[in-house]
């Protein structure tokens, strides 16, 4: 199985290089890893007491962020190295001030793992949520460097619980900080007791955002005129429903933030919306539909809304709903939410609704007309504190 795993890594690297010829994400993935060991050596030099955090992408970064920042407060003399697997995380957070260095993670080959760790010499390593790169884990174990899996969530259909070889790789983990009881029980069923239920650190992250949200004056002025509904991280299947709702309900203001920017032209034609990049104090007052055509400000836009529709539920799965919930907003999303604990819990407490079609979308939005915002804020508060639990042990 080890041979097959290493072959699969090599094949992935080859596929990424081929994809780079016509796919921008793959191009960034490859370009970001060129000369990476030279850049890493020049940046780190002879620094010591390095703590390495790794996140797959932007969502995992939001989970890791409160741990990184609280750790830095407790141990200001330690250095923080932050790595990303995906361009969608690295390209947005490559200038993150909470870390001393931000890099892409080299592909998980045995050679890369050994070389990377020999340069960094971390005193401890924290990977966020789903990330388990087996050659890196093996090398860390060989060098007696503690490895922690934080804000992790397991499901019974994962390979760890089906195949012995994958389960054996978890022997290289010093401690698991899981989100829920089910994850702990799954680990215990395959012989792991080094586990603590800490919860989801994203709650700590979104609480921190509400304390110091970035003001966006144009959107603040836009949202004052009418009740504002925010459509966050949307995809074309979401937008087809939303466009119809917007046309039938012109009495609201709407802000749409697509998950990817490639289809903004089509979305603008569907809705006749104003692009945020073209907005000014004059033309924004003449429009009730605004499309956010840049990345990185959505989490702060939610402070101006009364309700949020979160996209992705008609595809692979819904995107981050907690960024909106923490501002007291009720949430609507598509049918594919079963992998998301917070979505199921919010439905139970009547802070969210899932929809399957346009009729249900209309009904869900109208049902939240007199929504009690304390449902959302109390839910966030109840689930906070995971970062402190983790840091008290590592």
pLDDT value at residue 385: 94
pLDDT value at residue 182: 95
Q: Are residues 297 and 366 in the same domain?
A: yes
Closest to 55 measured CA to CA, from 104, 121, 107:
104
Tell me the three state secondary structure of residue 178: strand
pLDDT value at residue 88: 87
Closest to 231 measured CA to CA, from 256, 252, 263:
256
Q: Are residues 178 and 216 in the same domain?
A: no
Q: Residues 277, 293: contact at Cβ < 8 Å?
A: yes
Q: Are residues 239 and 106 in the same domain?
A: no
Q: Are residues 172 and 239 in the same domain?
A: no
Domain boundary, last residue among 170, 199, 228: 199
Residues 6+ apart with CB under 8 A from 74: 391
Say whether pTM exceeds 0.75. Answer: yes
Q: Are residues 194 and 225 in the same domain?
A: no
Q: Are residues 85 and 154 in the same domain?
A: yes
Q: Are residues 180 and 33 in the same domain?
A: yes
Give the CATH number, domain containing residue 307.
3.40.50.2000
How many domains does one find in the chain?
Answer: 2
User: Which residues sit opposite 353 in a β-bridge?
Assistant: 332
pLDDT value at residue 346: 97
Closest to 309 measured CA to CA, from 363, 350, 236, 365:
365
pLDDT value at residue 95: 94
Q: Residues 271, 249: contact at Cβ < 8 Å?
A: no
Domain-embedded: residue 391? no
Angle between helices 58-74 and 202-211 (to 10 degrees): 80
Q: Are residues 181 and 279 in the same domain?
A: no
Domain-embedded: residue 31? yes
Give the CATH number, domain containing residue 169.
3.40.50.11720
Domain boundary, last residue among 178, 199, 220: 199
Task: Give CA–CA dist 266/244, Å, rounded.
Answer: 14
pLDDT value at residue 174: 98
Domain-embedded: residue 386? no
Domain-embedded: residue 206? no
pLDDT value at residue 260: 86
**Residues lower than pLDDT 70 in the chain:** none
Closest to 32 measured CA to CA, from 112, 103, 96:
103
pLDDT value at residue 285: 86
pLDDT value at residue 166: 96
Task: Give CA–CA dist 103/93, Å, rounded.
Answer: 10
Contacts by 363-371, CB closer than 8 A, 24 or more apart: 364/332, 365/229, 365/245, 365/307, 365/309, 365/332, 368/307, 368/330, 368/332, 371/306, 371/307, 371/330
Q: ∠ at Cα 132 (126, 134), nearest 5°?
A: 115
Q: Are residues 138 and 230 in the same domain?
A: no
Domain boundary, last residue among 199, 228, 244: 199
Task: Give CA–CA dist 5/135, Å, rounded.
Answer: 10
Q: Are residues 26 and 76 in the same domain?
A: yes
Q: Could you list the residue range(s) of the whole structural domain that residue 117 is in? A: 2-199
Angle between helices 134-142 and 110-120 (to 10 degrees): 50
pLDDT value at residue 269: 87
Q: Are residues 268 and 340 in the same domain?
A: yes
pLDDT value at residue 321: 96
Q: Are residues 186 and 316 in the same domain?
A: no
């Amino acid at each position: 199985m080890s041979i097959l795993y290493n072959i699969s890594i090599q094949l992935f690297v080859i596929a990424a290089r081929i994809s780079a010829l016509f796919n921008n994400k793959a191009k960034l993935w490859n370009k970001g890893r060129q000369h990476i060991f030279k850049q890493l050596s020049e940046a780190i030099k002879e620094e010591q007491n390095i703590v390495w955090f790794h996140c797959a992408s932007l969502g995992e970064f939001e989970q890791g962020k409160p741990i990184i920042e609280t750790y830095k407060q407790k141990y200001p003399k330690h250095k923080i190295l932050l790595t990303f697997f995906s361009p969608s995380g690295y390209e947005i957070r490559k200038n993150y001030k909470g870390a001393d260095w931000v890099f892409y993670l080299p592909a998980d080959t045995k050679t890369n793992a050994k070389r990377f760790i020999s340069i960094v010499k971390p005193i401890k390593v924290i990977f966020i949520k789903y990330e388990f790169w087996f050659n890196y884990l093996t090398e860390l174990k060989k060098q007696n460097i503690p490895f922690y899996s934080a804000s992790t969530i397991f499901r019974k259909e994962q390979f760890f619980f089906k195949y012995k070889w994958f389960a054996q790789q978890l022997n290289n983990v010093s401690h698991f900080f899981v989100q829920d009881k089910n994850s702990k029980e799954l680990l215990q069923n395959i012989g792991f007791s080094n586990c603590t239920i800490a919860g989801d650190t994203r709650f700590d992250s979104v609480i921190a955002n509400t304390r110091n949200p970035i003001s966006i004056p144009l959107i603040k002025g836009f949202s004052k005129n009418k009740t504002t509904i925010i459509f966050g991280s949307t995809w074309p299947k979401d937008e087809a429903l939303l466009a119809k709702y917007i046309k039938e309900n012109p009495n609201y203001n709407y802000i749409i933030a697509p998950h990817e920017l490639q289809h903004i032209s089509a979305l603008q034609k569907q809705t006749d919306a104003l692009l945020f990049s073209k907005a000014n104090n004059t033309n924004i007052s003449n429009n009730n539909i605004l499309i956010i055509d840049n990345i990185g400000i959505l989490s702060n836009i939610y402070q101006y809304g009364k309700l949020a529709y979160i996209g992705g539920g008609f595809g692979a799965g819904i995107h981050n709903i907690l960024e909106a919930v923490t501002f007291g907003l009720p949430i609507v999303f598509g049918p594919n939410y079963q992998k998301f604990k917070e979505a199921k819990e919010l439905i139970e407490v009547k802070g969210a609704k899932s929809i399957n079609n346009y009729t249900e979308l209309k009904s869900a939005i109208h049902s939240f007309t007199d929504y009690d915002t304390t449902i959302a804020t109390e839910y966030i508060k109840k689930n906070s504190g995971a970062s402190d639990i983790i840091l008290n042990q590592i």
